[in-house]
Structure 1
Amino acid sequence: MAINYNDEKIGKFYQAILHYGEEQRKKIEEEVAAFKQKELDEAEIGVLTEAYHLIQKEMAQMRSGIARELAQREMDGRRALLEQRRKIMEQVFSRAAEELRAYTQKPEYAALLQTYACNLSSAFQKEGTVILLRKEDAPYQQQIAEAFGQPCRFETDPTIRIGGLRAYNSAMGIMADETLDAMLEDQRGWFEENSGLTLAG
Protein backbone atom coordinates (compact mmCIF):
# COMPACT_ATOMS: atom_id res chain seq x y z
CA MET A 1 0.00 0.00 0.00
CA ALA A 2 2.82 2.39 0.82
CA ILE A 3 4.48 1.49 -2.43
CA ASN A 4 1.37 2.40 -4.35
CA TYR A 5 1.11 5.61 -2.46
CA ASN A 6 4.70 6.43 -3.27
CA ASP A 7 4.25 5.45 -6.88
CA GLU A 8 1.20 7.66 -7.10
CA LYS A 9 3.07 10.50 -5.42
CA ILE A 10 5.99 10.06 -7.74
CA GLY A 11 3.63 9.93 -10.70
CA LYS A 12 1.96 13.15 -9.66
CA PHE A 13 5.32 14.80 -9.02
CA TYR A 14 6.48 13.61 -12.42
CA GLN A 15 3.29 14.93 -14.02
CA ALA A 16 3.76 18.25 -12.24
CA ILE A 17 7.34 18.48 -13.51
CA LEU A 18 6.20 17.64 -17.03
CA HIS A 19 3.39 20.20 -16.81
CA TYR A 20 5.79 22.86 -15.48
CA GLY A 21 8.33 21.97 -18.16
CA GLU A 22 5.62 22.27 -20.80
CA GLU A 23 4.55 25.66 -19.44
CA GLN A 24 8.16 26.85 -19.38
CA ARG A 25 8.70 25.58 -22.94
CA LYS A 26 5.58 27.42 -24.13
CA LYS A 27 6.64 30.51 -22.24
CA ILE A 28 10.10 30.40 -23.79
CA GLU A 29 8.63 29.80 -27.24
CA GLU A 30 6.27 32.73 -26.73
CA GLU A 31 9.16 34.93 -25.55
CA VAL A 32 11.26 33.82 -28.50
CA ALA A 33 8.34 34.48 -30.86
CA ALA A 34 7.75 37.92 -29.25
CA PHE A 35 11.48 38.69 -29.47
CA LYS A 36 11.55 37.63 -33.13
CA GLN A 37 8.45 39.72 -33.83
CA LYS A 38 10.02 42.69 -32.05
CA GLU A 39 13.21 42.24 -34.08
CA LEU A 40 11.17 41.92 -37.26
CA ASP A 41 9.11 45.00 -36.36
CA GLU A 42 12.27 46.98 -35.60
CA ALA A 43 13.89 45.74 -38.81
CA GLU A 44 10.75 46.67 -40.74
CA ILE A 45 10.72 50.12 -39.14
CA GLY A 46 14.42 50.48 -39.96
CA VAL A 47 13.85 49.43 -43.57
CA LEU A 48 10.83 51.75 -43.89
CA THR A 49 12.77 54.64 -42.32
CA GLU A 50 15.68 54.03 -44.66
CA ALA A 51 13.28 53.78 -47.62
CA TYR A 52 11.60 57.03 -46.53
CA HIS A 53 14.95 58.85 -46.30
CA LEU A 54 15.96 57.44 -49.67
CA ILE A 55 12.68 58.59 -51.23
CA GLN A 56 13.11 62.06 -49.67
CA LYS A 57 16.68 62.26 -51.01
CA GLU A 58 15.58 61.13 -54.49
CA MET A 59 12.73 63.65 -54.50
CA ALA A 60 15.08 66.46 -53.42
CA GLN A 61 17.53 65.52 -56.19
CA MET A 62 14.67 65.31 -58.70
CA ARG A 63 13.34 68.74 -57.65
CA SER A 64 16.84 70.18 -57.86
CA GLY A 65 17.33 68.64 -61.31
CA ILE A 66 13.99 69.99 -62.55
CA ALA A 67 14.80 73.45 -61.16
CA ARG A 68 18.20 73.39 -62.90
CA GLU A 69 16.66 72.25 -66.18
CA LEU A 70 13.97 74.95 -66.01
CA ALA A 71 16.60 77.61 -65.22
CA GLN A 72 18.71 76.38 -68.15
CA ARG A 73 15.71 76.40 -70.48
CA GLU A 74 14.76 79.90 -69.35
CA MET A 75 18.33 81.09 -69.89
CA ASP A 76 18.46 79.44 -73.35
CA GLY A 77 15.08 80.98 -74.18
CA ARG A 78 16.23 84.44 -73.11
CA ARG A 79 19.45 84.03 -75.07
CA ALA A 80 17.48 83.03 -78.18
CA LEU A 81 15.12 86.00 -77.74
CA LEU A 82 18.04 88.38 -77.28
CA GLU A 83 19.66 87.03 -80.43
CA GLN A 84 16.37 87.37 -82.33
CA ARG A 85 15.95 90.93 -81.06
CA ARG A 86 19.52 91.77 -82.09
CA LYS A 87 18.88 90.39 -85.62
CA ILE A 88 15.64 92.37 -85.98
CA MET A 89 17.34 95.55 -84.77
CA GLU A 90 20.27 95.06 -87.16
CA GLN A 91 17.85 94.52 -90.06
CA VAL A 92 15.91 97.67 -89.18
CA PHE A 93 19.06 99.79 -88.84
CA SER A 94 20.58 98.29 -91.98
CA ARG A 95 17.47 99.28 -93.96
CA ALA A 96 17.49 102.75 -92.36
CA ALA A 97 21.16 103.19 -93.36
CA GLU A 98 20.28 102.20 -96.95
CA GLU A 99 17.45 104.75 -97.00
CA LEU A 100 19.81 107.46 -95.71
CA ARG A 101 22.45 106.55 -98.31
CA ALA A 102 19.78 106.82 -101.00
CA TYR A 103 18.91 110.27 -99.63
CA THR A 104 22.54 111.40 -100.04
CA GLN A 105 22.09 110.89 -103.81
CA LYS A 106 19.26 113.46 -103.95
CA PRO A 107 19.72 117.19 -104.64
CA GLU A 108 18.35 118.09 -101.17
CA TYR A 109 21.41 116.48 -99.57
CA ALA A 110 23.61 119.46 -100.49
CA ALA A 111 21.29 121.76 -98.53
CA LEU A 112 21.48 119.39 -95.54
CA LEU A 113 25.31 119.55 -95.60
CA GLN A 114 25.13 123.34 -95.65
CA THR A 115 22.80 123.26 -92.61
CA TYR A 116 25.27 121.02 -90.77
CA ALA A 117 28.16 123.37 -91.69
CA CYS A 118 26.19 126.35 -90.36
CA ASN A 119 25.51 124.45 -87.10
CA LEU A 120 29.23 123.67 -86.72
CA SER A 121 30.28 127.30 -87.33
CA SER A 122 28.60 128.44 -84.10
CA ALA A 123 30.91 126.16 -82.08
CA PHE A 124 34.15 126.68 -84.04
CA GLN A 125 35.02 130.41 -83.79
CA LYS A 126 38.82 130.16 -84.25
CA GLU A 127 40.99 129.40 -87.25
CA GLY A 128 42.38 125.92 -87.76
CA THR A 129 39.09 124.04 -88.04
CA VAL A 130 39.19 120.81 -90.04
CA ILE A 131 35.95 119.53 -91.56
CA LEU A 132 35.77 115.80 -92.18
CA LEU A 133 33.53 114.30 -94.85
CA ARG A 134 33.07 111.27 -97.07
CA LYS A 135 35.12 111.04 -100.24
CA GLU A 136 31.81 111.00 -102.16
CA ASP A 137 30.88 114.38 -100.63
CA ALA A 138 34.07 116.14 -101.78
CA PRO A 139 32.18 117.92 -104.64
CA TYR A 140 30.20 119.86 -101.99
CA GLN A 141 33.29 121.40 -100.32
CA GLN A 142 32.74 124.87 -101.79
CA GLN A 143 29.10 125.03 -100.63
CA ILE A 144 30.06 123.68 -97.17
CA ALA A 145 32.88 126.24 -96.80
CA GLU A 146 30.51 129.08 -97.71
CA ALA A 147 27.92 127.88 -95.18
CA PHE A 148 30.64 127.49 -92.53
CA GLY A 149 31.66 131.11 -93.13
CA GLN A 150 35.19 130.88 -91.69
CA PRO A 151 38.57 129.62 -92.90
CA CYS A 152 38.72 125.82 -92.75
CA ARG A 153 40.27 122.90 -94.51
CA PHE A 154 38.80 119.56 -95.55
CA GLU A 155 39.82 115.94 -95.00
CA THR A 156 38.10 112.74 -96.06
CA ASP A 157 37.06 110.38 -93.28
CA PRO A 158 36.50 106.70 -94.22
CA THR A 159 34.59 106.10 -90.95
CA ILE A 160 31.75 108.32 -92.23
CA ARG A 161 29.86 105.70 -94.23
CA ILE A 162 26.44 107.31 -94.71
CA GLY A 163 27.05 111.05 -94.86
CA GLY A 164 27.22 114.33 -93.00
CA LEU A 165 30.12 116.23 -91.43
CA ARG A 166 32.51 116.09 -88.50
CA ALA A 167 34.75 118.91 -87.40
CA TYR A 168 37.62 119.39 -84.98
CA ASN A 169 39.84 122.25 -83.92
CA SER A 170 43.03 121.24 -82.11
CA ALA A 171 43.69 124.80 -80.83
CA MET A 172 40.21 124.92 -79.26
CA GLY A 173 40.37 121.26 -78.15
CA ILE A 174 36.90 120.46 -79.43
CA MET A 175 35.28 118.07 -81.87
CA ALA A 176 31.68 117.91 -83.11
CA ASP A 177 29.74 115.28 -85.03
CA GLU A 178 26.97 116.18 -87.47
CA THR A 179 26.97 112.86 -89.35
CA LEU A 180 23.99 110.78 -90.36
CA ASP A 181 25.96 107.79 -89.01
CA ALA A 182 26.01 109.22 -85.46
CA MET A 183 22.39 110.34 -85.66
CA LEU A 184 21.28 106.86 -86.72
CA GLU A 185 23.39 105.23 -83.98
CA ASP A 186 21.80 107.55 -81.40
CA GLN A 187 18.41 106.08 -82.32
CA ARG A 188 19.37 102.59 -81.03
CA GLY A 189 18.53 103.42 -77.43
CA TRP A 190 15.19 104.91 -78.42
CA PHE A 191 14.45 101.90 -80.63
CA GLU A 192 15.21 99.42 -77.83
CA GLU A 193 12.87 101.22 -75.46
CA ASN A 194 10.01 101.79 -77.91
CA SER A 195 10.14 98.85 -80.32
CA GLY A 196 8.27 96.46 -78.01
CA LEU A 197 11.22 94.05 -78.25
CA THR A 198 12.45 94.69 -74.70
CA LEU A 199 12.63 91.51 -72.60
CA ALA A 200 10.84 91.51 -69.26
CA GLY A 201 13.20 91.11 -66.28
Structure 2
Amino acid sequence: MAVNDDKINKFYVAINHYAEEQRKKIEQEIDSFKRKELEGAEVDVLTEAYRLIQKEMAEMRNGISKEMAQREMNVRKDLLSKRREITDEVFEQAKKALSEFTKEKGYADLLVKKAEILSKTFQKPGTVIRIRKEDEQYKELIQKAFGNDCEFKISDDIQIGGILAYNSEMGIAADETLDSLLEDQREWFEENSGMAVV
Protein backbone atom coordinates (compact mmCIF):
# COMPACT_ATOMS: atom_id res chain seq x y z
CA MET A 1 0.00 0.00 0.00
CA ALA A 2 2.95 2.26 0.55
CA VAL A 3 3.79 1.91 -3.16
CA ASN A 4 0.25 2.89 -4.00
CA ASP A 5 0.42 5.86 -1.66
CA ASP A 6 3.72 6.86 -3.18
CA LYS A 7 2.23 6.64 -6.68
CA ILE A 8 -0.80 8.66 -5.58
CA ASN A 9 1.47 11.28 -4.01
CA LYS A 10 3.55 11.50 -7.19
CA PHE A 11 0.33 11.71 -9.20
CA TYR A 12 -0.94 14.56 -6.94
CA VAL A 13 2.45 16.32 -7.19
CA ALA A 14 2.39 15.96 -10.99
CA ILE A 15 -1.20 17.23 -11.18
CA ASN A 16 -0.42 20.13 -8.81
CA HIS A 17 2.70 20.96 -10.80
CA TYR A 18 0.73 20.87 -14.08
CA ALA A 19 -2.10 22.95 -12.52
CA GLU A 20 0.44 25.46 -11.21
CA GLU A 21 2.04 25.74 -14.69
CA GLN A 22 -1.40 26.16 -16.26
CA ARG A 23 -2.32 28.79 -13.66
CA LYS A 24 0.94 30.72 -14.34
CA LYS A 25 0.38 30.39 -18.08
CA ILE A 26 -3.20 31.68 -17.73
CA GLU A 27 -2.01 34.54 -15.49
CA GLN A 28 0.66 35.44 -18.08
CA GLU A 29 -1.92 35.34 -20.84
CA ILE A 30 -4.24 37.51 -18.75
CA ASP A 31 -1.36 39.92 -18.01
CA SER A 32 -0.42 39.96 -21.70
CA PHE A 33 -4.05 40.51 -22.68
CA LYS A 34 -4.40 43.30 -20.10
CA ARG A 35 -1.19 44.95 -21.34
CA LYS A 36 -2.35 44.79 -24.97
CA GLU A 37 -5.78 46.12 -24.02
CA LEU A 38 -4.24 48.85 -21.86
CA GLU A 39 -1.78 49.76 -24.62
CA GLY A 40 -4.64 49.86 -27.11
CA ALA A 41 -6.75 51.92 -24.71
CA GLU A 42 -3.76 54.17 -24.02
CA VAL A 43 -3.23 54.72 -27.77
CA ASP A 44 -6.96 55.45 -28.17
CA VAL A 45 -6.92 57.85 -25.21
CA LEU A 46 -3.76 59.57 -26.46
CA THR A 47 -5.20 59.82 -29.97
CA GLU A 48 -8.43 61.28 -28.64
CA ALA A 49 -6.51 63.63 -26.33
CA TYR A 50 -4.31 64.76 -29.24
CA ARG A 51 -7.40 65.35 -31.39
CA LEU A 52 -9.08 67.34 -28.58
CA ILE A 53 -5.91 69.37 -27.97
CA GLN A 54 -5.62 70.15 -31.69
CA LYS A 55 -9.30 71.14 -31.79
CA GLU A 56 -8.91 73.35 -28.71
CA MET A 57 -5.77 74.95 -30.14
CA ALA A 58 -7.53 75.62 -33.46
CA GLU A 59 -10.47 77.17 -31.59
CA MET A 60 -8.08 79.24 -29.46
CA ARG A 61 -6.17 80.41 -32.56
CA ASN A 62 -9.46 81.24 -34.25
CA GLY A 63 -10.66 83.09 -31.13
CA ILE A 64 -7.39 85.00 -30.84
CA SER A 65 -7.51 85.90 -34.54
CA LYS A 66 -11.08 87.16 -34.19
CA GLU A 67 -10.19 89.11 -31.06
CA MET A 68 -7.12 90.63 -32.73
CA ALA A 69 -9.15 91.55 -35.81
CA GLN A 70 -11.81 93.13 -33.58
CA ARG A 71 -9.17 95.03 -31.61
CA GLU A 72 -7.50 96.20 -34.81
CA MET A 73 -10.86 97.32 -36.18
CA ASN A 74 -11.62 99.19 -32.94
CA VAL A 75 -8.20 100.85 -32.97
CA ARG A 76 -8.67 101.84 -36.63
CA LYS A 77 -12.13 103.18 -35.81
CA ASP A 78 -10.70 105.19 -32.90
CA LEU A 79 -7.86 106.49 -35.09
CA LEU A 80 -10.27 107.45 -37.86
CA SER A 81 -12.47 109.21 -35.33
CA LYS A 82 -9.47 111.04 -33.86
CA ARG A 83 -8.23 111.94 -37.35
CA ARG A 84 -11.69 113.27 -38.27
CA GLU A 85 -11.78 115.24 -35.01
CA ILE A 86 -8.34 116.77 -35.66
CA THR A 87 -9.23 117.51 -39.29
CA ASP A 88 -12.50 119.17 -38.24
CA GLU A 89 -10.64 121.20 -35.64
CA VAL A 90 -8.01 122.32 -38.18
CA PHE A 91 -10.68 123.27 -40.70
CA GLU A 92 -12.73 125.06 -38.05
CA GLN A 93 -9.63 127.14 -37.21
CA ALA A 94 -9.06 127.79 -40.93
CA LYS A 95 -12.72 128.82 -41.31
CA LYS A 96 -12.33 131.27 -38.40
CA ALA A 97 -9.15 132.68 -39.96
CA LEU A 98 -10.91 133.09 -43.33
CA SER A 99 -13.89 134.72 -41.62
CA GLU A 100 -11.49 137.18 -39.99
CA PHE A 101 -9.91 137.77 -43.41
CA THR A 102 -13.33 138.85 -44.80
CA LYS A 103 -13.19 141.83 -42.43
CA GLU A 104 -9.89 143.07 -43.87
CA LYS A 105 -9.20 145.21 -46.94
CA GLY A 106 -7.61 142.30 -48.76
CA TYR A 107 -11.01 140.60 -48.92
CA ALA A 108 -12.45 143.35 -51.15
CA ASP A 109 -9.43 142.93 -53.45
CA LEU A 110 -10.11 139.18 -53.56
CA LEU A 111 -13.75 139.75 -54.53
CA VAL A 112 -12.64 142.10 -57.33
CA LYS A 113 -10.16 139.51 -58.61
CA LYS A 114 -12.80 136.74 -58.52
CA ALA A 115 -15.30 138.98 -60.37
CA GLU A 116 -12.72 139.73 -63.08
CA ILE A 117 -12.03 136.00 -63.53
CA LEU A 118 -15.78 135.25 -63.77
CA SER A 119 -16.35 138.03 -66.32
CA LYS A 120 -14.19 136.17 -68.85
CA THR A 121 -16.53 133.16 -68.72
CA PHE A 122 -19.93 134.82 -68.18
CA GLN A 123 -20.11 137.18 -71.15
CA LYS A 124 -23.81 136.85 -71.99
CA PRO A 125 -26.52 138.79 -70.13
CA GLY A 126 -28.56 137.03 -67.46
CA THR A 127 -25.74 136.15 -65.09
CA VAL A 128 -26.75 135.94 -61.44
CA ILE A 129 -24.08 136.61 -58.86
CA ARG A 130 -24.78 135.28 -55.40
CA ILE A 131 -23.08 136.74 -52.37
CA ARG A 132 -23.64 136.53 -48.63
CA LYS A 133 -25.62 139.25 -46.86
CA GLU A 134 -22.49 140.66 -45.18
CA ASP A 135 -20.95 141.30 -48.63
CA GLU A 136 -23.76 143.55 -49.95
CA GLN A 137 -21.46 146.51 -49.30
CA TYR A 138 -19.20 145.22 -52.11
CA LYS A 139 -21.92 144.96 -54.80
CA GLU A 140 -20.78 148.05 -56.74
CA LEU A 141 -17.14 146.98 -56.54
CA ILE A 142 -18.00 143.46 -57.79
CA GLN A 143 -20.30 144.90 -60.54
CA LYS A 144 -17.53 147.21 -61.78
CA ALA A 145 -14.94 144.40 -61.82
CA PHE A 146 -17.39 142.00 -63.50
CA GLY A 147 -18.12 144.59 -66.18
CA ASN A 148 -21.07 142.72 -67.70
CA ASP A 149 -24.76 143.01 -66.94
CA CYS A 150 -25.63 140.90 -63.88
CA GLU A 151 -28.13 140.49 -61.08
CA PHE A 152 -27.21 140.06 -57.41
CA LYS A 153 -28.86 137.68 -54.99
CA ILE A 154 -28.18 136.92 -51.35
CA SER A 155 -27.20 133.32 -50.63
CA ASP A 156 -27.49 131.59 -47.28
CA ASP A 157 -25.28 128.80 -48.70
CA ILE A 158 -22.20 131.02 -48.51
CA GLN A 159 -20.97 130.94 -44.91
CA ILE A 160 -17.47 132.42 -45.15
CA GLY A 161 -17.50 134.62 -48.25
CA GLY A 162 -16.83 134.82 -51.97
CA ILE A 163 -18.97 134.68 -55.12
CA LEU A 164 -21.24 132.12 -56.75
CA ALA A 165 -22.24 132.81 -60.36
CA TYR A 166 -24.57 131.10 -62.81
CA ASN A 167 -26.12 131.85 -66.14
CA SER A 168 -29.17 129.79 -67.10
CA GLU A 169 -29.00 130.78 -70.76
CA MET A 170 -25.36 129.68 -71.02
CA GLY A 171 -26.00 126.64 -68.80
CA ILE A 172 -22.94 127.22 -66.62
CA ALA A 173 -22.18 127.93 -62.99
CA ALA A 174 -19.01 128.79 -61.09
CA ASP A 175 -18.18 128.62 -57.42
CA GLU A 176 -15.55 131.10 -56.30
CA THR A 177 -16.44 131.01 -52.62
CA LEU A 178 -13.99 130.68 -49.76
CA ASP A 179 -16.29 127.93 -48.48
CA SER A 180 -15.66 125.66 -51.48
CA LEU A 181 -11.97 126.60 -51.67
CA LEU A 182 -11.58 125.54 -48.04
CA GLU A 183 -13.59 122.34 -48.53
CA ASP A 184 -11.49 121.46 -51.60
CA GLN A 185 -8.44 121.44 -49.32
CA ARG A 186 -9.82 118.58 -47.17
CA GLU A 187 -8.69 115.83 -49.53
CA TRP A 188 -5.24 117.41 -49.92
CA PHE A 189 -4.97 117.78 -46.14
CA GLU A 190 -5.95 114.16 -45.51
CA GLU A 191 -3.35 112.95 -48.03
CA ASN A 192 -0.53 115.23 -46.87
CA SER A 193 -1.12 115.71 -43.15
CA GLY A 194 0.71 112.52 -42.19
CA MET A 195 -2.35 111.27 -40.33
CA ALA A 196 -3.05 108.33 -42.63
CA VAL A 197 -4.59 105.27 -40.98
CA VAL A 198 -2.87 102.26 -42.51
Q: What TM-score, normalized by structure 1, do the two folds share?
A: 0.93
What is the CA–CA distance in structure 2 between the aligned matches of 1:81 and 1:28, rounded to whole Å? 77
- Tell me the CA shift for residue 67 of structure 1: 1.3
Moved more, 21-30 or 127-136: 21-30
Moved more, 129-138 or 12-21: 12-21
What is the CA–CA distance in structure 1 between the aligned matches of 2:20 and 2:197, rounded to whole Å? 87
Task: Name 2:123's counterpart in structure 1.
Answer: 125
SS at match of 2:121: coil
What is the CA–CA distance in structure 2 between the aligned matches of 1:144 and 1:118, rounded to whole Å? 8
Task: Name 1:93's counterpart in structure 2.
Answer: 91
Letter of the 1:58 partner, please give it.
Answer: E
Which structure 2 residue ranges, 5 or more long, are not aligned?
none
Task: Name 1:173's counterpart in structure 2.
Answer: 171
Task: Name 2:106's counterpart in structure 1.
Answer: 108
Q: What is the CA RMSD across the aligned residues, in angstroms?
A: 1.4
Task: Name 1:55's counterpart in structure 2.
Answer: 53
Q: Count residues in correspondence.
A: 198
What is the CA–CA distance in structure 2 between the aligned matches of 1:108 and 1:81, rounded to whole Å? 38
Task: Name 2:22's counterpart in structure 1.
Answer: 24
Deviations 1:120-162 (A, max 9, x none): 0111111110001001111111111111111100111101000
What is the CA–CA distance in structure 1 between the aligned matches of 2:3 and 2:12, rounded to whole Å? 14
SS at match of 1:161: coil
- Tell me the CA shift for residue 102 of structure 1: 0.6
Task: Name 1:164's counterpart in structure 2.
Answer: 162
Q: What TM-score, normalized by structure 2, do the two folds share?
A: 0.94
Task: Name 1:195's counterpart in structure 2.
Answer: 193
* 1:5-84 matches, cutoff 5 A: 5-84=3-82
